């Protein structure tokens, strides 16, 4: 009870700092992209994501463990397949795969109205899809996969389609991921297991619990040789479930 009371007392200051970070880095992104182009914009986004994670550490005592225990292949794109627990999953993946220029599959609603976040989704190479409109989403995903294939960037997708509010994985929705696999045939498929992130949002951020331990672990790449896309997707889902003991 005492920890929850302290969390409530911290919440207004945390929210203020959070939105100030988004506003400040929105301006930084616009200036960086205007003056320095893609590379400067990408660097400003890296700083934003790091700042958001450091805010959790410093203000709420959140412990963050990022684990990439092997060298990523450099001669191909990456398709990063992760479970989804909270909005903080994006900075976790963004920092873990920063060297590979991570891009995201996002719902179209996030592309407008959110300082920093919406600007990066529109101008940073990510794809925003309307999940209710296949005529928009399917071609957009195909073009996104081709973009990853050409640039050798990392494309991050939350294959459950929506976040888990209790940490229990939902079944993967294979359609979007299957399109990416077809459009980026040389991509290495990297399953990623996220743990503890859901606890940050367990009270819908009212308040945010103190001292949560969040872990983000890159699992071994899936060998695509001789496998159908359906088999690859199933293997990625099972790898994450097994790691999470679900």
Give me the pLDDT at residue 4, please.
87
Task: Mark the ranges of the chain whose per-residue pLDDT is less than 50.
Answer: none
Sheet holding 127-129, edge to edge: 63-67, 213-218, 188-195, 78-82, 154-158, 102-107, 127-129
Give the pair of three-digit tokens for residue 41: 């914009």
Radius of gyration of the chain (CA): 18
For tokens 């672990």, what's the residue? 217
Give me the pLDDT at residue 2, please.
83
Q: How far is CA 2 from CA 49, 58, 125, 209, 210, in A?
A: 30, 19, 44, 11, 11
Give me the pLDDT at residue 132, please.
84
Q: Are 52 and 44 in contact (CB under 8 A)?
A: no
Q: How far is CA 197 from CA 161, 191, 244, in A?
A: 16, 17, 13
Give me the pLDDT at residue 135, please.
85
> Which domains are present in the chain?
2-244 (3.40.1130)
Q: Is 39 exposed, middle or buried (0-12, 13-18, 19+ CB in 10 A)?
A: exposed
């Amino acid at each position: 009870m005492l920890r929850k009371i302290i969390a409530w007392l911290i919440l207004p200051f945390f929210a203020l700092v959070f939105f100030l970070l988004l506003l400040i880095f929105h301006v930084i992104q616009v200036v960086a992209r205007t003056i320095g182009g893609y590379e400067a914009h990408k660097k400003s986004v890296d700083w934003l994501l790091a700042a958001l994670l450091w805010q959790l550490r410093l203000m709420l005592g959140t412990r963050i463990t990022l684990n990439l225990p092997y060298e990523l292949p450099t001669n191909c794109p990456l398709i990063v397949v992760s479970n989804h627990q909270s909005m903080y999953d994006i900075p976790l993946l963004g920092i873990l795969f920063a060297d590979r220029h991570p891009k995201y599959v996002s719902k179209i609603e996030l592309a407008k109205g959110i300082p920093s976040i919406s600007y990066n989704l529109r101008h940073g190479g990510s794809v925003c899809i309307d999940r209710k409109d296949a005529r928009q989403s399917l071609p957009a995903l195909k073009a996104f996969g081709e973009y990853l294939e050409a640039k050798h960037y990392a494309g991050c997708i939350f294959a459950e389609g929506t976040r888990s509010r209790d940490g229990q994985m939902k079944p993967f929705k294979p359609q979007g991921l299957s399109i990416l696999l077809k459009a980026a045939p040389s991509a290495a498929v990297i399953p990623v297991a996220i743990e503890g992130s859901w606890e940050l949002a367990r009270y819908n951020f009212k308040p945010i619990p103190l001292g949560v331990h969040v872990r983000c672990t890159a699992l071994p790449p899936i060998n695509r040789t001789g496998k159908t896309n359906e088999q690859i997707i199933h293997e990625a889902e099972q790898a994450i479930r097994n790691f999470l003991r679900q």
